[in-house]
Amino acid sequence: MADGEARADDILDTENAEEAGTDTRAPGRWQSFRAWRQTPFVLWALAALAGLTVLVFWHTFSDQPVLQSSDAKLWFLSGTVVFWLPLILLLRDSPDNFAHGPSLRLPTVCVGLLVCLSGGLAAVTEWGGGLSGALQDQLQGAPFIACVFAALALAFLPLAWNAVNLSRFQAAERRKTDVPRANIDGMSDSKDAEAMGALVATLVVGSIIVFAICAGIFNESVSFDNLIGIAIGFLVVGAFAVVVFMDPLSQLTPVRWLSRVFSFAARGARPLAAFYDAVDTFLVRIVAVMTGMEHRSVAARYGILGLILISLCLLGWYLPPKWGLIPCALGIVAAVSVSRLWSWVEDDRALAALTDFKPTTPYRTSMREDYRDETLLGFLFVFFLIPIMMSNAHWSGLFGPDMFQLPKGKETGFLDWFGYFGVTLIKAVPIVDWAEIYNFGQPRPGAGSDLISMNTVASQHAVFMARSTVDLVLIASLLQAISITGRNRQQKRLYKAGTDPANKFRAGLIDRLDTFVEKAELRRTMMACLRPGAPWPEKHTTPEQAHKIHFNLNVQSTRPGLVDFRRYNADRLGQMHGEYKDPVARAFIAAISVERPGFSLVSRPTLLDQKAEAGAPETELYTLLTRIKSDLKDDGVNVDLSLPVMRSILFHTSKRHGLQEFKEGIVELMKQCEPKRDTIESLADIAGRSDPDNFQYTRVAAVRSICAMAHQSPNTLDIQFAISQLEDVSRHTPGSSTERAIRECLQELRHLLETMKA
């Protein structure tokens, strides 16, 4: 049930009961309500409302009022989440439009609730100094905390629910387009390598934790200095020796025996690798989506992520310390999830280059964005969350009393903790970790200090974790940025390698770049090729004008740093010309088409048909549809809306999920095709007569378009023709939703016909 309408009777055959309909009986209101996708949530809300109402009536009219105390009222308020949650879930996205990306309805409500919660808590705590002692105690009590976390659940659970639905939809789409992955993921040596990596990582991290615990416990009675120095020295020398003599050592009998032992250990560690992979997938597919990463708009992604992290920072600081640790931990998980998404995108970029950008490559992401800036934004808030967590860990007493030594006692504020973390930061970051050499940030003998300092073993562990987090964040981001830069340069080298200076159209070792490098290099090249003094190209600039007046394409070969797009993949150039909105970029590609033999530009509708036939990602289909609508507004005369092309687009997408707005947009465009009666016949075929679409919403849209076309410059013959077509469709049992639309349109057209005859 994808389109939100009554679909219980809409069964085309027994193999796919969800995609079409055969039962022509008009369902009643109760049947339609039962089949509605929102019905379970409406019933859930009604049941919760009934229960809460009964409780209120019991309190009001019985001799045993249960909501008398303020604590009871707070518990009741937190319990109302069972009523509000299904109402908010009504705003979740329909699977029919998942391909278009999540809407802003649900994030707006959930993030708005989170902002109000954190802002209200901050205002009450910061400016509530005049509150009575009893009210101050209530803000620390369990009922109030329950209200806060109920509101947190109300904000995050709908986002998680929507993210799970979106993840399922994307998984189904990947299964349709990906090649069989048995040769990739099913290889035992690949699984063993992943399992061994998981095992080694677990052992290394576990060893570090054990060492930190031992060092904290025995640091006053045992000296680790010389022992650790010897161990680290042997480890470094051994690592270099293994790398240098890896090949000859691998042939030795003991090494082979160890290899078999390790292989056995790796097979035993496969569940551990699967667990890590599941956690990683959860962070990327669910948590990153909850923070807005699937939204197409940059402002939406930044706004949702930023507001969520700001709210979690405020909640972490103003909640009671032991409870404030939870929002801080959620904030760090959110930042890490965006970082993992960035890593997945970069892995897919490398995979795309290795597989020559084949659309059947099993990518894990859509590669619409690189998420680098979003990752940096998330890590920015980590530097605020860590000092808040240090403060909460100290004041909560969960890790012992007087965890840190505070020079200002309870007057310590956020800036004091942030300053202490800043000192810790410069001791942790490579290159500037010289701070400890000069005793920077250390209390001076005989002098007071306004710095917070470590006091217990727990504080040492906290500082160690903070430094480790900073090291991992900075080093991982730095190494990934360096590897990305190197890979981008390598792509350009491979693109130029093997080219023939005498043949400006001969490709190199590769004939295209990845999407992100492509955009940047195209802009650099086209700006360099613009003729000095020539006007900028416009929307209506012809290819000949672009070639003669606006661009000097020979500049691409005379400047070493530019990518010569005359050698670029022809299919990709055609796609870029159709997808890009910038008239300068489109004119530049059009100028290339004048010079390059065998390369001709096609209209956007034709390109959209080609993409639909090839099973292109939904985002590309929506992008081209948007461009076509924009062209119609600017200059509808020069847009070739061919009826066979429009019909072909719907034919190639008839069985694809998640394209409701796309298909309805194509049907809307068909109303502008000529001749009118041929278009009405095609719409009747789509509605259920021959080669119908598999989804009721497309059929209903086709029926309504027939009715709308009959109203355009109405005459008796056209109206009668439309009525006959709709009656013919009705005889082919198109489904209950379509039948209902046909009855409404027939009634409207017959009334129009009677009006014209009168």
**214/52: higher pLDDT:** 52
Q: Which domains does the chain have, with CATH numbers?
A: 34-177 (no CATH), 515-595 (no CATH), 616-757 (1.25.40)
- The percent of residues in the chain predicted with pLDDT above 70, rounded, is 77
The set of residues, in sequence order, having a beta carbon less than 8 Å from that of 456 and lying 6+ positions away, is 399, 400, 402, 403, 404
What digits encode the pLDDT tens for the residues 543-596? 999 999 999 998 888 887 888 898 898 888 988 988 888 899 999 999 999 988
**752/249: higher pLDDT:** 752
**214/701: higher pLDDT:** 701
Determine the number of helices (DSSP H) and then strands (DSSP E) in the chain.
32, 2
Residue range 306-320: average pLDDT? 94
Residue 464 has pLDDT above 60, yes or no: yes
Q: 454 pairs with which residues across the strands?
A: 404
Residue 475 has pLDDT above 80, yes or no: no
Which band of pLDDT confidence, cut at 50, 70 and 90, is reported for residue 16? very low
The set of residues, in sequence order, having a beta carbon less than 8 Å from that of 233 and lying 6+ positions away, is none
Residue 203 has pLDDT above 90, yes or no: no
Residue 346 has pLDDT above 90, yes or no: no
Backbone angles phi, psi at 427, to 5 degrees: -85, -20
Position 239 scores a pLDDT of 58
**DSSP 8-state secondary structure symbol assigned to residue 180:** P
Which band of pLDDT confidence, cut at 50, 70 and 90, is reported for residue 737? confident
Residue range 337-343: average pLDDT? 90
Position 462 scores a pLDDT of 80
- Six-digit token string for 510: 């590769």
What digits encode the pLDDT tens for the residues 260-291? 666 666 677 778 778 888 888 999 999 999 99
The dihedral built from the CA positions of residue 643, 649, 654 and 659, taken in this order, carries a sign that is negative
280 within 8 A of 337, measured Cβ to Cβ: no
Determine what percent of the chain falls in helix, strand and coil, rounding each to the nearest 5: 70, 0, 30
**87/352: higher pLDDT:** 87
Position 6 scores a pLDDT of 35
**DSSP 8-state secondary structure symbol assigned to residue 530:** B
Q: Is the peptide bond before 605 cis (omega within 30 degrees of 0)?
A: no
**549/182: higher pLDDT:** 549
Position 323 scores a pLDDT of 92
SS3 track for 59-102: HHHCCCCCCCCHHHHHHHHHHCHHHHHHHHHCCCCCHHHHHHCC
The set of residues, in sequence order, having a beta carbon less than 8 Å from that of 672 and lying 6+ positions away, is 632, 636, 641
Fill in the amino acid letter for 609: D
Residue 227 has pLDDT above 70, yes or no: no
- Six-digit token string for 420: 């202490």
**394/312: higher pLDDT:** 312
**DSSP 8-state secondary structure symbol assigned to residue 292:** T
Residue 80 has pLDDT above 80, yes or no: yes
Q: Which residues of 445-460 are buried (b: 16+ CB within 10 A; e: fewer)?
A: eeeeeeebbbbbbbbb
Backbone angles phi, psi at 404, to 5 degrees: -115, 155
Residue 391 has pLDDT above 80, yes or no: yes
Residue range 729-738: average pLDDT? 86
Give this prediction's pTM: 0.77
- Six-digit token string for 653: 């997408």
CB atoms near residue 249 (< 10 Å): 12
The dihedral built from the CA positions of residue 90, 94, 98 and 101, taken in this order, carries a sign that is negative
When mean pLDDT is compared across 137-146, 206-215, 519-528, the lowest value belongs to 206-215
Q: Which residues of 492-525 are buried (b: 16+ CB within 10 A; e: fewer)?
A: beebbeebeeeebbebbebbbbbbbbbeebbeeb
| Coil/strand/helix, residue 551 | strand
> Distance between CA 383 and CA 374 in Å, rounded?
15
Which band of pLDDT confidence, cut at 50, 70 and 90, is reported for residue 25? very low
Position 95 scores a pLDDT of 82
Residue 5 has pLDDT above 60, yes or no: no
Residue range 174-188: average pLDDT? 51
**260/647: higher pLDDT:** 647
> Distance between CA 46 and CA 222 in Å, rounded?
66
